[in-house]
Structure 1
């Protein structure tokens, strides 16, 4: 089935795209909804979904069955597009990442994230933002520095001092 879909997609046959959507569409939508989970991000779901299908349509020739399954390859592309979109939305709308917590989490996950956020309370607001962007959203120090109009070295210093504060906070 996968080989047939891949062959049709490489030939630019829209029937192959329909089969691909039937096969992987639900998983792609679930991934998008799990990453773009803030209420303000819901309006970007369809746009992101279209971007995923377009990227797959463009890049299918680079798919290598020896390296991964089509599903894994697809979900990797989906995840990367979603994370890029999330970063873009945060930058454009100046969303503070603490607002990003999903409202419908499993209780254990919710409490783990609550504890993490409580732990960050020992830091000032700007340091909290730097920590969340670096550790939670995995933005690079260079990206964070650019968005906050700081030097990259300042970001590294704040991360280092923040880790020390967190360590002291845990030991108390």
Structure 2
């Protein structure tokens, strides 16, 4: 069967590897654009991250919903979050590395700072999609690492209300953080 723009998603769902080849041939430029934007000077991570993106597309194609977004936007979102995961892993590796085994150049420190700022900016974008009160709940739980009992006492809200706010907040962040339009017109 010939793979085309009209049938490649259906064929991927049927686990036809030729459909994945079609995605690579026709949509890899989107993944490359996103990876270059988020991984800038970490070229040694591009290939591994690209492979992870393709694997995620292959394994999660059943979750793609054309009514919610275009395929281009969907795969750009996958690439964005995979690249952020790679930045976090890179930063964690830098922080956990044995100082005797690693000689950090000043360039590595500047990359570390750039990556930290990028992750911080992404986190702020996500948090600012919430109300001020919900933002405080998220900060207490995830940044200050307080447990639900402590947060409940500090805010005067019951744990069930806190869980509901967290759940709604996560949904709202997922909905509001979109890559729509960011990558549709960019080609390498």
TM range, smaller chain: 0.5 to 0.7
In the superposition, relative to structure 1, how do residues 99 and 50 fare at CA in structure 2: closer, same or farther (>3 Å)? same
In the superposition, relative to structure 1, how do residues 25 and 142 fare at CA in structure 2: closer, same or farther (>3 Å)? farther
In the superposition, relative to structure 1, how do residues 98 and 23 fare at CA in structure 2: closer, same or farther (>3 Å)? closer
- The equivalent residue for 1:24 is 27
SS in 2 for 1:75: helix
- The equivalent residue for 1:44 is 45
| RMSD (CA atoms) | 3.0
Alignment of 1:1-172 (within 5 A): 1-38=4-41, 41-94=42-95, 96=109, 99-101=112-114, 132=117, 135-136=120-121, 138=123, 152=145
In 2, the alpha carbon distance for the partners of 1:70 and 1:47 equals: 22
Q: Identify which of structures 1 and 2 has the higher relative contact order when contacts are C-alpha pairs closer than 8 Å and 6+ apart.
A: 2
In the superposition, relative to structure 1, how do residues 43 and 133 fare at CA in structure 2: closer, same or farther (>3 Å)? closer
Offset at residue 152 of structure 1 (A): 4.1
Offset at residue 135 of structure 1 (A): 3.2
Cα deviation 1:34-86 (Å, max 9, x = unaligned): 11113xx2111100000000000000011111101111111001101101111
In the superposition, relative to structure 1, how do residues 44 and 69 fare at CA in structure 2: closer, same or farther (>3 Å)? same
In 2, the alpha carbon distance for the partners of 1:9 and 1:76 equals: 18
In the superposition, relative to structure 1, how do residues 97 and 138 fare at CA in structure 2: closer, same or farther (>3 Å)? farther
In 2, the alpha carbon distance for the partners of 1:143 and 1:93 equals: 26
Question: Unaligned regions of 5+ residues in structure 2, if any?
Answer: 96-107, 125-137, 147-188
TM norm structure 1: 0.58
In 2, the alpha carbon distance for the partners of 1:136 and 1:51 equals: 24
Question: Unaligned regions of 5+ residues in structure 1, if any?
Answer: 103-128, 146-150, 154-172
